[in-house]
Structure 1
Amino acid sequence: MLLSQALNLAFKGYLTLQNTLQNDFELSGIAPLESATATQISYIDQDKYLNKLIDSQAGAVLIRPNLLDKVPSHIQPLEVENPHLAFALLSALFVRDGFDIKPSLESHTQIHPSAHIASNVSLGENVSIGADSILMPGVVIGENVSIGAHCKIYPNVVIYRDTLIGNRVNIHAGSIIGCDGFGYAHTKEGKHIKIEHNGRVVIEDDVEIGANNAIDRAVFGETLIKQGAKIDNLVQIGHNCVVGEHTLLVSQVGLAGSTTTGRNVVMGGQAGTGGHVHIGDFVQVAGRGAVGKNLPPHTKWGGHPLMELNEWMKFYVSLRRMLKKHS
């Protein structure tokens, strides 16, 4: 599809391109600035990402009028009042579902002979399953999924397309791996336009994922669960998150999109993060701690608003004394 056709189709009724299209080309997709090619569109609507424009190889970039002069000459500017909304509208042109399920295993030649697969497991195209892995009843696997050796996928787990799973990974009943992230752009009228997530989830070796988890696939790139991480039941991990090596996430932890952690992080029950924060190596966050900022390595935190743990404990004791005094 030509760029001009894609813009007309996606923007109809929502946005207008405010400058003249200089160079029409065959559009292959949308991508972040750092990985986009000359046949792809990217977008930028915040000053803090402008430094990525210089080295980007994108064919065109969606950008606000006030940032137009920041676009280097090798990238074609697409001037729109709301680049985030424009990106969401264009993402719908490139969505893939990835659940072309086949009823039998006969065509799936990448399944190791020692793998144990229940009779009512559903498999998509181009699925790879390693030696001695077990897929229990009711498991649904989308296309282009790879599962390593000695894995256990418990009943009613759903694994969406393009997911990569390493060796010795356990995923307990009811968990959903690779579902869409919670991402929307908003019109002036208050409508919510879905951002299609075309990335994937990668789970490295020796990870355990509890029951009824939801791990969202990335908008671009990967949501990554690194080696040895252990995740309790009822945990939500948003799109583009990175969970570091040997991290422990206790029940009902919630990581907002693009949260990253270092290695051996521990987050207590019902702790959560805002988006785009980094938690350093060996950090501990007490239960119900609300992380809204980057946390340095080898520190302990708790509370809401978040405080260093010793400070939080002293504050809590003082608060109880004050409440008891005035009761």
Structure 2
Amino acid sequence: MEIALSALAERLGLPLRGSDRQVSGVGPLESAGPQDVSFISAAKYAPLLKTTRAGAVICTEEFAGSVDAALVSANPALDFARLLELFSPPQGRFSGVSDRAFVDPQARVAEGATVFPLAYVGPGAEVGPGSRIFPGCYVGEDCRIGRDCTLYPNVTLMARTVLGDRVMVHPGAVLGADGFGYVPRAGGGRDKIPQVGTLVVEDDVEIGANTTIDRAMLEKTVIGRGTKIDNLVQVAHNCVLGENCTIVAQVGIAGSCTVGRDVIMAGQAGVADHVSIGDGAVVGPICGVRTDIPAGMRMGGIPAMEYGTYMRNLSLAPKIPDLFKRVRQLEKALEALGGDPGQGGRT
């Protein structure tokens, strides 16, 4: 797409400072060319403005005078993301319902929805207008998919899974599979507990590739509105995640956990079952959570501890070998004086 900066500024609702010109792409400050638009989000990148060849830069008013053309923004990163949507059309150019897809006669696919070849839509399923179901997807019986959702290739929605509007699910994710529930038998072995609940994914949720979210044993597992889940995440049965959470790659959340609003969980964090995490809490990377976390707390380490304590422990850990040597030296010195280190120095 080629467009004048003035027209682009109008579409984004941003003032243009400097010369108008045609642009046709996007790029980072380091490698953008004269027809590209770039952005600067922090003062530490300001030196790059002296050398960039970008045709225009999205920036705050502070940096607008440093470049030939600037689109002035209060939040350059956010407005650059909006720009990327203009220059990057969505994947998949097929439209309509393919005659090579299987759509059960009892399913309802709204006008304007797209079902790619080799997708399956089961009996009683509903697909809302503007939603797109890519090849290899399985939409089980009585599933409900809202408006403008995207199921990328090989996504699985097991029976009765519900998606709100504008939900995006990346390739290989499995939603609504059985939770891991068993009852031990007296003579050994385990009997399966039927998982008869559902999974509800609310509006504007994005779910990463190969992530798995289990249906509830009873009632429902819930992923709150606006939550963003990365690749390779496991959310177990009967969990409830609040609105606008950020769950990063390889996080594992065990069954019946309750997660508040705006919670961040960094990569490879693990949460034990029946734990409650308060609104706005931050769980650091590779953190092991086994007890409740109050709202607003920042946690790190295994087991999870307040982040400041965790960082102090982390800084002290490399000093432990030297500390051990010093203690041994003191013990030897005490022995030489006739003391007994095992008796606290008493003779």
Classify the TM-score, shorter chain. Answer: 0.5 to 0.7
Partner of 1:237: 235
Q: Deviation per CA, 1:258-292: give whole Å up to 9, x if none.
A: 01100000001000111001000000010011111
Over the aligned positions, Cα root-mean-square deviation in angstroms equals 1.6
Q: C-alpha distance in 2, partners of 1:280/1:190?
A: 39
Q: C-alpha distance in 1, partners of 2:239/2:300?
A: 21
Partner of 1:312: 310
Q: Deviation per CA, 1:118-163: give whole Å up to 9, x if none.
A: 1210111011111111100100011000000111100001100011
**Equivalent residue in structure 1 for 2:201, among 200, 203, 206:** 203
Partner of 2:216: 218
Tell me the CA shift for residue 316 of structure 1: 1.0
Partner of 2:271: 273
Partner of 2:259: 261
Partner of 2:40: none
Q: C-alpha distance in 2, partners of 1:114/1:288?
A: 43
Matches within 5 A, 1:174-193: 174-193=172-191
Q: Deviation per CA, 1:84-120: give whole Å up to 9, x if none.
A: xxxxxxxxxxxxxxxxxx9733624521110011121
The residue type paired with residue 244 of structure 2 is: H
Q: C-alpha distance in 2, partners of 1:192/1:106?
A: 36
CA contact (8 A) 2:157 2:174 kept: yes
The residue type paired with residue 191 of structure 1 is: G
Q: C-alpha distance in 2, partners of 1:249/1:291?
A: 14
Q: C-alpha distance in 2, partners of 1:204/1:103?
A: 26
Call closer, same or farther: CA 1:172–1:319 in 2, change over 3 Å: same
Q: C-alpha distance in 2, partners of 1:124/1:282?
A: 39
Q: Deviation per CA, 1:227-252: give whole Å up to 9, x if none.
A: 00000000000000011100010000
Call closer, same or farther: CA 1:106–1:220 in 2, change over 3 Å: closer
CA contact (8 A) 2:101 2:115 kept: no
Partner of 1:168: 166
Which of the two has greater helix per residue? 2
Partner of 1:227: 225
Q: Which of structures 1 and 2 has the bigger CA Rg? A: 2
CA contact (8 A) 2:169 2:207 kept: yes
- Partner SS state of residue 319, structure 1: helix
Q: C-alpha distance in 1, partners of 2:196/2:107?
A: 26
Q: How many residues align?
A: 226
Q: C-alpha distance in 2, partners of 1:231/1:180?
A: 19
Q: C-alpha distance in 2, partners of 1:232/1:282?
A: 18
Tell me the CA shift for residue 324 of structure 1: 5.7
Q: C-alpha distance in 2, partners of 1:269/1:216?
A: 20
**Equivalent residue in structure 1 for 2:295, among 291, 294, 297:** 297
The reply to whether residue 252 of structure 1 matches residue 255 of structure 2 is: no
CA contact (8 A) 2:119 2:133 kept: yes
Tell me the CA shift for residue 189 of structure 1: 2.2
What percent identity do the matched residue pairs reach? 40
Tell me the CA shift for residue 192 of structure 1: 1.0
Gaps of 5+ in 1: 1-101
Q: Deviation per CA, 1:24-45: give whole Å up to 9, x if none.
A: xxxxxxxxxxxxxxxxxxxxxx
CA contact (8 A) 2:161 2:200 kept: yes
Q: C-alpha distance in 2, partners of 1:106/1:203?
A: 23
Q: Deviation per CA, 1:21-75: give whole Å up to 9, x if none.
A: xxxxxxxxxxxxxxxxxxxxxxxxxxxxxxxxxxxxxxxxxxxxxxxxxxxxxxx
Q: C-alpha distance in 1, partners of 2:321/2:213?
A: 40
The reply to whether residue 131 of structure 1 matches residue 129 of structure 2 is: yes
Tell me the CA shift for residue 319 of structure 1: 1.0
**Equivalent residue in structure 2 for 1:148, among 125, 134, 146:** 146
Identify which of structures 1 and 2 has the higher relative contact order when contacts are C-alpha pairs closer than 8 Å and 6+ apart. Answer: 1
- Partner SS state of residue 185, structure 1: strand
Call closer, same or farther: CA 1:307–1:186 in 2, change over 3 Å: same
Gaps of 5+ in 2: 1-99, 326-347
- Partner SS state of residue 318, structure 1: helix
The residue type paired with residue 179 of structure 2 is: G
The residue type paired with residue 265 of structure 1 is: V
